[in-house]
A and B are shown apart, each in its own frame.
Chain A
Amino acid sequence: MSIDATDRDIIRALQAGLPLVAEPYAQVAKQMGMSEEKLVDRLEAMKASGVIRRIAAAPNHYKLGMTFNGMTVWDVEDSQITSLGGIVGALPFVTHSYERPRALPVWPYNLFAMVHGTSREEVEEKRSHIANILGEACRANDVLYSSRILKKTGLRLRNKE
């Protein structure tokens, strides 16, 4: 995927978010010295190519009462990771799911599935549900609860000419 200097400028202008005004693109375009039409065309192109995933809100799970955030991790048979990962990733309560490399001997897990809940019991229930799906293809699993957000800013592009 290639982006040019204009795209970079647009990303930099929008990485902190959209202005909350009736015509946000017009405002950003004006600040950037381009027409709103050009900005919208560029954004549409970046969306079509996957540079922009979506225009949406990111909620703070904790403030929504989803205070239990469990990163469930699983040591799944390599030959079955793709099919089983697909099933786990499609569960409605799994917000993110990835296959990642193990770091033996410290870390035997290759499937990560993020689960949120309003209580530890709720997360544990969801974890059992995943365990049932994985069955014998899973040798071991664990859940890592997050106790604190230490930082949350998202992607930041450096200033670069």
Chain B
Amino acid sequence: MTTLDALDRVLINRLQDDLPITNRPFAQLAEELGLSEEALIERIRHLRETGILTRFGPFFDAAAIGGSFCLCALAAPPDRFDEVANIVNARPEVAHNYERSHHLNMWFVLATETPDEIDRVSDAIELETGLTVYRFPKTQEFFVGFRVTA
């Protein structure tokens, strides 16, 4: 685990809130935190470089641009796990993929620009791996908090 100081923690929490789309989006936040704009940007850059922040920027909703998200799962035999992970990860439509402790041990999210691509990509993964890809598209989304407290 990376060492974070108190200011980093405040910053990580604060950066999960929406930032206004303005000419200098960091200036106001810097003032709020009692930092210079350059010092704030440097801190954020450091958090990005060390991987504490995986990304900073706009979060796009695939559904809102006519695309789809679908959570999928498969049961990879342990001796083929890495091979199956490579097949799944090679697809650009796979936004993220997690190993999980369950018979269904690989869980990934497909993000595609059109709904029909979900089945097309899932079918292709089934064909390539010889495994069933279970599809769990969301039926409804409950309030999404997103944040994690640093």
Contact = CB atoms under 8 A, between A and B. Distances in A.
Nearest to A41: B21
B78 interface: no
A38 interface: no
A67 B44 CA distance: 22
B61 A44 contact: no
B89 A56 contact: no
B12 A59 contact: yes
B148 A64 contact: yes
Contact of B50 (A24, A50, A56, A63): A63
Contacts of B61: 50-53
Contact of B140 (A16, A36, A53, A99): A99
B100 A147 contact: yes
Contacts of B34: none
Nearest to B19: A55
A158 B93 CA distance: 9
A90 to B, nearest CB: 5
Interface in B61-103: 61-62, 64-67, 71, 73, 85, 88-89, 92-103
Interface residues of A, number: 81
Contacts of A2: 66
Interface string A1-21: 111000100010011111011
B118 interface: no
Interface of B: 1-2, 4, 12, 15-27, 37-38, 41, 44-45, 47-48, 50-62, 64-67, 71, 73, 85, 88-89, 92-104, 106-108, 111, 113, 134-148, 150
**Minimum-distance CB pairs A-B, first 3:** A89-B142, A57-B15, A17-B57
30 contacts: A17-B48, A17-B56, A22-B26, A22-B27, A22-B41, A43-B58, A51-B64, A51-B65, A53-B59, A53-B61, A55-B19, A55-B20, A56-B17, A59-B12, A60-B53, A66-B148, A82-B140, A97-B142, A98-B138, A99-B140, A99-B142, A101-B137, A144-B107, A145-B101, A146-B99, A146-B100, A151-B108, A153-B94, A155-B62, A156-B95
